[in-house]
Amino acid sequence: LHPLTNDEHFYALKFCQEILERKHFIPHLVDIQKNIHTTNYKSHPFQAVFCMDDRECGLRRHLELINPDIQTFGTAGHFGIECFYQSEIDPFPRKHCPLPIAPKVLIKEKTKKVQKIKMKYYMWLSNIILGSIATTFELLLKLLNPIKGNNYYNIQMSKKKSLSNLIRSTEESIMTNNHSVKQGYSFEEMARIVYEQLQIIGLTKNFAPLIFIIGHGSTSENNPYFTAYGCGACSGRPGGPNAVIFVTMANMTEVRSILKSKYHFFISEETLFIAGMHNTCSDTVTFFDCENINDIKLTSLKKFQLSISQACARNATERMQAMPNVTAKSIHPMKDPKLRSLSFFETRPEMGHTDLQFAIVGRRELTHNLDLKRKAFLQSYDSTIDLDGKILAKILTAVVPVCSGISLDYFFSRVDNLRFGAGSKLPQNIVGNIGTSHGTESDLLYGLPIQMVDRHTPLRLVIVVEQKPHIALAVLNTHPLVEQIIKNHWVYYFAYDWEQKEYYLFKNDSMIKYNLGWSI
Amino acid sequence: MKYSLLFGLYLSPLLGCLLFNMGKRFSEKTIINISLFTSIVPFIFSIIFTGQLFLHHSIPLEIPLVNFTLVKHHYNYTLWIDHNSIVFLFLTHILAIFVIKYSYTYLNLEKGFQRFFSTIQLFIFGMYVLSLAGSLDIFFAGWEIVGLSSFLLIAFYRAHNRSLINAWRVFNIYRVCDLGLLIGAVISQAFYHDANRFSFISQLQPADLSFISPWTIFFLSFFMIFASVGKSAQFPFYNWPSRAMEGPTPSSAIFYGALSIHAGVFLLLRTYPLWSYHLTNTILVGIIGLTTFVLSKIQSKVQANIKGQIAYSITAQIGIMFIELSLGFTTLVLIHLMFHALYRCFQLLVSPSIVLSSLTNSPQFQAQEISVLNFLPKRLKNTLYILASTEFNFDNSWRGFHFLGWKNIYNYFNTIAQKVQWYFVVVLLIILIIFDYKFLPMIFPIVSIFLTLVALIRSTHAFSSLFNIFIATTVNFVGIYYWDKNSLDYTLIYLIPWFITSIITLVITYRFRRLNLSYFHALGTEFPYHANSFFICFILLSGMPFSPIFLAEDIILEKFIDISFLSTFSLVLNFMAIAIIYSKNYIRLFMGRTMKSY
């Protein structure tokens, strides 16, 4: 035996990596292949649209198990709305859409006066000696009893949302964050957004009386990386506002009439959209603007709330068991997810995208009742209504950059945490709302801290598309970013032919039939 | 005396620290339980004890602790309990328990969990000693322990070269200022007996001091002020707290937000009757405070990072405390210190949440402060901004001074140092001894100082610098022997442990003699036993409190002052150089991140 040369060393490493990846994804691919799904054409009383995020995966499974009447969908968490959003407590507008997109619309929440009065009181208080003593004890109490605190997302998740300028009144454009934007949407734009979004997830007929649009966000205290726990499709912001905007649009009679006349898309008056937000850290779901609902709908809403709170509880217990240091004989003091989300002490409020490995684009029937262990992004897509692959192309432009970005972020931060990641979270220092540094003198840190990735297995993302291989291949040329990511093998790209139950892997610019045995 | 055994309870954090360093790995739960136990037991004792004192109105109180004689030197260790020490003690108790509880969840699964808690316990023990000390000797011991634990926690992340450099830097400043305290303690003991004890200092009347030479008192107070300036980060040294924020956030909070940084103010409170006797000193303290306040207030406004901002605000507030001290408001200072410590500790602990609060319209982010700076003309304002963001060129000008003004002298000295090897010096000395010149006793300390400087300047390689400092100390002691043929009676107590530890370190570093100290070599993982024994030798040699060397330092310095001032100065320089060189060696050899790939 001679010592390995550089090339040989590289091939050995590559081989090991591929073996590891196969070991992790093949059992799940086999599961999907074996999953006998019964297509159920009966109309469901509830439909719920979630973000495609891997943390919603477990919640959806539990929800469907608890109440089989609920049909769930998954889509990118901005629900097709690309806008700047300014809530009542934001000093300036923030982007609520995937990072590469430049929004052209600004939407504001109505401001209240209560906040400002409280601010003045604080300013007066903190400038005198007594004030500083009072602040000391307030801080002490806040540290010891976090539940009493009122934080950003608690305010963000207040149950009433009133949007001040959703409907465009003028065509004037204004400048925000160096973008020229217009205020609000016109009715045609709203109808187009609603139509495209519902078409993407395959919800074109059999509308339930109640359709829930549920975004997700995360609450954590004392944590500079809170946006890393947020919704990836909303640039790390909570997806609640997007859900509210979508729901307000879809409930408008003007929009529905345009949908009917222009897109031949009939949503009956019975159907009501309701917005909600799932807090992935404390595992609670809040519903917005539920005051003006009639009694019949209210009883069924309560029914849904009951089952989703049960699902959340089950999801939380399952999730907490996978947390580092929290086992049955737990030694960690923060066993309660609600406490974790509010505690100032906690460096691991939740697991984030840990163990992310799949992005499955297809009908829910493929993965129904399948325990994917919070590993998969689930994007709903109905291949039967998409014969030329146009919808798939649209989906892939959103799914591939977002999912591969998250996956590679975790991958590299885990592989060499000191170089590609941010090291430990403990000594970090916040630099001018730009980033974090180690102490006061280091360079700005990129990547994720070790506390977020230490349970992650560094594997490349596996994208599974439920579509014929030739269509899946043809779709790749539509967007340069998607093409680059897939053709340079930053991700695995599978096409799953459901009728023949065969997998096709993208390799050497073609789709090759993939054998799920142990041959390579 | 009936209390003295119970005061052993204050040793419990030290025992916890030692337990964690026995080589056994404990689970996180056990570590937390032990740490909480060792900090709660003294807390309960303190409550009962001070309650008793208040009931019987017996504050202030001096409690004799240990009483022994070593080489004709009488050691009398006592505790001194007054309002200052009670405030500082309870501040320590509360913050210690709080920070341990905070760190439990915060440091969960972190590498070095056990190391962190052992160091925190060492620090807590140091703070107990500091706040209860009855004389300057013990105060110095606590002061040293706090400095050492501070060094260890700044260098907590051993793979980050920048934190190691900063740790070394802060340790050097601490060390230089410690020597101010050491000299002060020695002078006070040498010139009038008992002046060392706080019970004596606190009852000083101006009449008591009138018959002592004003220069002595001036120097004594000057050294005290110098020591507290270093520890509390005042004017010439006010830049270090922002650089010291390298350890985990709870450690930064308890050290530079709360306790360690206020130790200098505490020293000035303790020795207030002594240094306030001279108007010069009070004015000096006031000027230092004012300068620090102005400079760091401006600097804190231009800091881009939150911890740096808090660090400069802390030094500015301590500047105000210095001004208050110079005006004589001692009670106000105590109250100010207490609330400032609590407030800054919590502010640092929640500093990562600045992102969230700046996202909202929170007062910290939105409030437009009404400041004098807003009324300045624009040009002056911009000038101040640039100056403040470059730290008033303070560090740079030091460096410039060093490289321009002193460059020639430095180079000249360096060439001499390279040519004159130690054996030339030894041969010269032997010749001198043989021929017995008159000025011979003067020669030894001068040569020793020269060799120490050589060791400091040429500390590029591990072995050579250690060897130089070894020779320098030897030469100095030979000189003392030449003065006083009976000196071995009292120098041996220092020489024996010094010789053993020096030889061990020399043997260890001989193996790595070719390694350049400009780089980090991270040999600690490869040679753990070498690293550990080097570290133990280092803390013993640098005068770890209650070690033989610590006990001997007092005796030697006191005797030396009677014999020759030059020898004393050279010995003090030696102590300083030993700590600096050994810490540099330890950091560069055994810590850091190398470019080596395995």
Question: Is residue A155 a contact partner of residue A90, using CB atoms and an 8 Å limit?
Answer: no
d(CA A444, CA A185): 39
Reply yes or no on whether the pLDDT at B436 is more than 70.
no
How many Cβ atoms are within 10 Å of B328's Cβ, its own excluded? 12
Residue A332 to residue B354, Cβ atoms within 8 A:
no
Residue B352 to residue A430, Cβ atoms within 8 A:
yes
Q: What is the mean pLDDT of residues B569-576?
A: 84
Which residue among A136, A344, A440 sits closest to B343, beta carbon to beta carbon? A136
Distance from the Cα of A328 to chain B's closest Cα (Å) equals 15
d(CA A295, CA B103): 51
| Residue, of B153 and B208, whose pLDDT is higher | B153
A17 touches B: beta carbon within 8 Å: no
d(CA B528, CA B22): 14
Residue A132 to residue B355, Cβ atoms within 8 A:
no
Question: Is residue B456 a contact partner of residue B468, using CB atoms and an 8 Å limit?
Answer: no
Tokens of B384: 């101040």
CB contacts < 8 A, A to B, total 160
A 169-228 residues inside an 8 A Cβ radius of B: 221-224, 226
Q: Closest by alpha carbon to A76, among A187, A193, A215, A171? A: A215
What local confidence, expressed as pLDDT, does residue B365 receive?
Answer: 44
Reply yes or no on whether the pLDDT at B354 is more than 80.
no
Per DSSP, the three-state class of A453 is helix
Distance from the Cα of A405 to chain B's closest Cα (Å) equals 23
What local confidence, expressed as pLDDT, does residue A392 receive?
Answer: 93
Distance from the Cα of A10 to chain B's closest Cα (Å) equals 15
Residue A174's DSSP bridge partners are A181
Tokens of B266: 């505490």
Contacts of B111 (CB under 8 A, 6+ apart): none
Q: Report the residue of A441, A443, A451, A454 to disrupt the B interface, i.e. the one with the largest count of B CBs within 10 Å.
A: A441
For A251-296, how does the pLDDT look when each residue is reduced to its tens digit (9 = 90+)? 999 999 999 999 888 888 889 999 998 988 888 888 888 777 888 8
Residue B243 to residue A440, Cβ atoms within 8 A:
yes
Reply yes or no on whether the pLDDT at B531 is more than 70.
yes
Q: Angle, to 10 degrees, between the axis of helix A187-200 and the axis of helix A253-263? A: 70
Reply yes or no on whether the pLDDT at A171 is more than 80.
no
Kindly list the residues from chain A whose CB atom is less than 8 angstroms away from the CB atom of residue B162.
438-439, 441-442
Task: Using pLDDT thresholds of 50, 70 and 90, give the confidence band for residue A329.
Answer: low
Note the helical H segments in B360-439.
363-366, 378-389, 394-400, 407-419, 422-435
Task: Using pLDDT thresholds of 50, 70 and 90, give the confidence band for residue A330.
Answer: low
Distance from the Cα of A502 to chain B's closest Cα (Å) equals 43
What local confidence, expressed as pLDDT, does residue A155 receive?
Answer: 46
**From residue B235, how far is each of A347, A406, B225, B296 by CA, in Å?**
36, 48, 12, 9
Q: What is the mean pLDDT of residues B533-550?
A: 83
What local confidence, expressed as pLDDT, does residue A479 receive?
Answer: 87
Task: Using pLDDT thresholds of 50, 70 and 90, give the confidence band for residue B115.
Answer: very high
What local confidence, expressed as pLDDT, does residue A153 receive?
Answer: 45
Residue B157 to residue A424, Cβ atoms within 8 A:
yes
Q: Report the residue of A115, A126, A136, A425 to disrupt the B interface, i.e. the one with the largest count of B CBs within 10 Å.
A: A136
Task: Using pLDDT thresholds of 50, 70 and 90, give the confidence band for residue B301.
Answer: confident
What local confidence, expressed as pLDDT, does residue A123 receive?
Answer: 47
How many Cβ atoms are within 10 Å of B78's Cβ, its own excluded? 20
Average pLDDT of every residue of chain A: 83
Residue B356 to residue A152, Cβ atoms within 8 A:
yes
Peptide bond into B60 cis (omega under 30): yes
Q: Pick the most confident of A47-56, B52-61, B365-374.
A: A47-56
Per DSSP, the three-state class of A439 is coil
Reply yes or no on whether the pLDDT at A117 is more than 50.
no
d(CA A257, CA A266): 9
How many Cβ atoms are within 10 Å of A331's Cβ, its own excluded? 15
What local confidence, expressed as pLDDT, does residue A343 receive?
Answer: 80
Task: Using pLDDT thresholds of 50, 70 and 90, give the confidence band for residue A158.
Answer: low
DSSP 3-state helix, strand, coil percentages of chain B (rounded to 5)? 75, 5, 20
Which residue among B27, B108, B305 sits closest to A431, beta carbon to beta carbon? B305
Residue A123 to residue B350, Cβ atoms within 8 A:
no
Q: Long-range contacts of range A473-479, CB-CB < 8 Å, 24 or more positions apart?
A: A473/A506, A473/A510, A473/A511, A474/A389, A475/A389, A475/A392, A475/A393, A475/A396, A476/A396, A476/A506, A478/A393, A478/A396, A478/A397, A479/A393, A479/A396, A479/A397
A126 touches B: beta carbon within 8 Å: yes
Kindly list the residues from chain B whose CB atom is less than 8 angstroms away from the CB atom of residue A151.
356
Distance from the Cα of B445 to chain A's closest Cα (Å) equals 41
Reply yes or no on whether the pLDDT at A365 is more than 50.
yes
Distance from the Cα of B28 to chain A's closest Cα (Å) equals 8
**From residue A482, how far is each of A38, A477, A487 by CA, in Å?**
33, 8, 8
Nearest residue of chain B to residue A333 (CA atoms):
B105
Average pLDDT of every residue of chain B: 83
Residue B246 to residue A439, Cβ atoms within 8 A:
yes
pTM above 0.80, yes or no: yes
Kindly list the residues from chain A whose CB atom is less than 8 angstroms away from the CB atom of residue B239.
none
Which helix (H) or strand (E) segment is A337 a member of?
A: helix A337-342
